[in-house]
Amino acid sequence: MNKFPYIITVSSEKGGVGKTTLATNLAIFLKALDEDLPVSIFSFDNHFTIDKMFSFKGDKHEHTVTDLLSGETGNQLLQTGQYGVNFIPSSQNLSQAKKMIKGPMSLARMISTSEMDGILIIDTRPDLDILTENALYAADKVLIPVKDMPSLENCRNIFALFDKRGLDKKSLVLIPCLIDERIKFDGLFADQKTLLRAFAINRGYKCHDTYISKSPKVESLNTNPDGKIYPVLTHGRGTDVHGQFTALARDILADYQATKEPRSLLFHNWLEAENEKERISYEARLGGLNRDCLICKRNILPESIGTAGYYYETSDGIFSGFLEEDCFLKVLSQSIYNIKGQISDEDPTLMLLRESTRDSIFVLRPHPENCSSAVEFRRYDSSGQLLTNRRINYRDHAGGMFHDDRCPLYDIVGTTLSGYGNSFREAFLIIHPVEPGRPDKILQKESYRSFSTIKGSIAAMIT
């Protein structure tokens, strides 16, 4: 059975608010509360705090967070760490890794197939870069530490990101951190945490009941002669922070247990539904294809699909199919280059043409000035840049493979674009090269999307 983790992201644009301390210690307290619960952690920061805290002496780190971002299965990157917490070692190449991220939901997609289980905690950099953004959207709960008014002000940007994308903000929860209990105020808001909480609630932010105090003992845990970072659980007993982390971990454990369907599972289900929709669209596209080559009339589907060299589709989507590569090249050589008579398959002109057409997209339509006697022939490069625009008259060419004196391009236009009575439809035919041996790939998701994009931009140019 697939596994789907409950994800907690710790994030704040403000540096030094206690994110990493919160993320790492929360992982340890959660594991201490339930030793059977898989708890994992990784960081999008390159401070290597996580590595220092969880690595066993002499551990070799074969994988890093970069491998996760490049598509490797998360579960296989996890390293067993101290205190029973699994971790993915941090990466020094995060700027490289960032380039692999294609959009804001990439991490959610990766984690939904990561086979990770239990609770996954993600620590982030004090920056709303694409990695943080991904970590925010993937999370069931985003803990936002706030220690003062500037950090509270900064939360606005996280909330605004969710608003911009129309995402539900219920996952976002503020938590007062580094609270100095010695500071007291006169009046209604007697101390820092009460004041911060009041401001947070006033702005419509959810705020955690628990807070984390500032403690000299906790501060000293990452400054010691051993060069280690010690956890609050083992080295901060007796401090308020120890009790606060216990309370926080209990709350989070209760939320985890109450969440029957974590976001990673919902995302997985959504992806499955999308894939199914895409499969149905692909099959509909395949099923709607004209089964013969437009030129030689040989059946090109499904047995001989491997020999197709071009895919064609009318701009109104009514007619679509594949063309044998050599058929179309011969038509081009006759109609555009005016080569007369039969052409052998080894003809150097044909070979040259084959090479140059692999990066071209062709458009045919009845000529706008005289549709009954001419065809407009356009050639574009693969980015949609117009290379050629020619008028080909009905009887411009002097015979060829069909032993008749009609321009074969005119036949193609007639077959695909004829309308009611003797008229043509207000449309054009686009002919696009396909991957040799895999012509049907053009009908699949990404390729069909790029084909449709180019078709759309050509339509915008010529209509």
List of residues contacting ligand ATP (CB under 6 A): 15-21, 45, 126, 178, 212, 214-215, 218-219, 222, 241
State the nearest-atom distance from the C-beta of 7 to ligand ATP, in Å. Answer: 18
Pick the closer one to ligand ATP by CB: 19 or 31: 19
Q: How far apart are CA 247 and CA 149, in angstroms?
A: 25
DSSP state letter for 145: E
> What 3-state DSSP class applies to 127?
coil
Say if CB 85 and CB 38 are below 8 A apart: no
Report the sign of the C-alpha dihedral through residues 187, 193, 196, 199, in that order: negative
Q: Which does 15 bind (CB under 5 to 8 A by kind): ligand ATP, Mg ion, none?
A: ligand ATP
State the nearest-atom distance from the C-beta of 214 to ligand ATP, in Å. Answer: 4
Pick the closer one to ligand ATP by CB: 65 or 409: 65
Pick the closer one to ligand ATP by CB: 113 or 222: 222
Which neighbouring-strand residues pair with 7?
120
Distances (CA, A) of 84 to 29, 119, 250, 400: 10, 13, 17, 78
State the nearest-atom distance from the C-beta of 178 to ligand ATP, in Å. Answer: 5
Q: Which does 222 bind (CB under 5 to 8 A by kind): Mg ion, ligand ATP, none?
A: ligand ATP
DSSP letter string, 319-356: -EEEEEHHHHHHHHHHHTS---S---TT-HHHHHHHHH
Q: Which does 69 bind (CB under 5 to 8 A by kind): ligand ATP, Mg ion, none?
A: none
Pick the closer one to Mg ion by CB: 113 or 154: 154
State the nearest-atom distance from the C-beta of 45 to Mg ion, in Å. Answer: 5
Range list of β-strands (E), 21-147:
39-43, 79-80, 86-87, 119-123, 141-146
Q: Which does 143 bind (CB under 5 to 8 A by kind): ligand ATP, Mg ion, none?
A: none
Tokens of 354: 């084959």
**Angle at CA of residue 334, ends 420 and 386, nearest 5°:** 70
Q: How far apart are CA 447 and CA 443, in angstroms?
A: 7
State the nearest-atom distance from the C-beta of 136 to Mg ion, in Å. Answer: 15
Pick the closer one to ligand ATP by CB: 245 or 319: 245
Which parts of this chain interact with Mg ion (CB under 5 A)?
19-20
DSSP state letter for 311: E
Q: Which does 17 bind (CB under 5 to 8 A by kind): Mg ion, ligand ATP, none?
A: ligand ATP
Q: From the centroid of its chain, how far is CA 436? A: 27
State the nearest-atom distance from the C-beta of 319 to ligand ATP, in Å. Answer: 59
State the nearest-atom distance from the C-beta of 180 to ligand ATP, in Å. Answer: 9
Q: Which does 161 bind (CB under 5 to 8 A by kind): Mg ion, ligand ATP, none?
A: none
User: For the chain, how many helices (H) and strands (E)?
Assistant: 17, 14
Pick the closer one to ligand ATP by CB: 30 or 241: 241
Pick the closer one to ligand ATP by CB: 21 or 79: 21
Q: How far apart are CA 42 and CA 23, in angstroms?
A: 9
Q: Which does 308 bind (CB under 5 to 8 A by kind): ligand ATP, Mg ion, none?
A: none
> What 3-state DSSP class applies to 168?
coil
State the nearest-atom distance from the C-beta of 165 to Mg ion, in Å. Answer: 25
Residue 35 exposed, middle or buried by CB count within 10 Å (0-12, 13-18, 19+): exposed
Residues in the chain: 463
> Given the structure tokens 């943080």, which residue do they identify?
132
State the nearest-atom distance from the C-beta of 19 to ligand ATP, in Å. Answer: 3
Q: Which does 241 bind (CB under 5 to 8 A by kind): ligand ATP, Mg ion, none?
A: ligand ATP
Which residue type does 29 have?
F
Q: Which does 85 bind (CB under 5 to 8 A by kind): Mg ion, ligand ATP, none?
A: none
Pick the closer one to Mg ion by CB: 20 or 215: 20
Pick the closer one to ligand ATP by CB: 224 or 259: 224
Strand 79-80, strand 86-87: pairing: antiparallel
